Amino acid sequence: MKTIIQWLIEIGKNPSTLSFWLLRLWLGFRALLTGVEKFSGFKIVQEPLLDEAGNPDITGAIVVVKYKFYALGNYHGLPDSLLNTFKKEPLLHPLMLNAFITVLGPLLLLTGGCLLLGLFTRLSLYVMGLLYISLTFGLIMINQNDGVSALAVHVALCAYALHLSAHNKLEIIR
pLDDT for 135-170, tens place per residue?
999 999 998 888 999 999 999 999 999 999 887 776
Q: What is the pLDDT of residue 61?
A: 86
pTM: 0.83
**Under 8 Å between Cβ of 169 and 17:** yes
If you count them, how many residues does the chain have? 174
* Residues contacting residue 1 through CB under 8 Å, at least 6 positions apart: none
pLDDT digits (tens, 9 = 90+) for 20-64: 989 999 999 999 999 999 999 999 998 888 888 888 888 888 889
With a cut of 80, say whether residue 88 has pLDDT above it. yes
Q: What is the pLDDT of residue 95?
A: 93
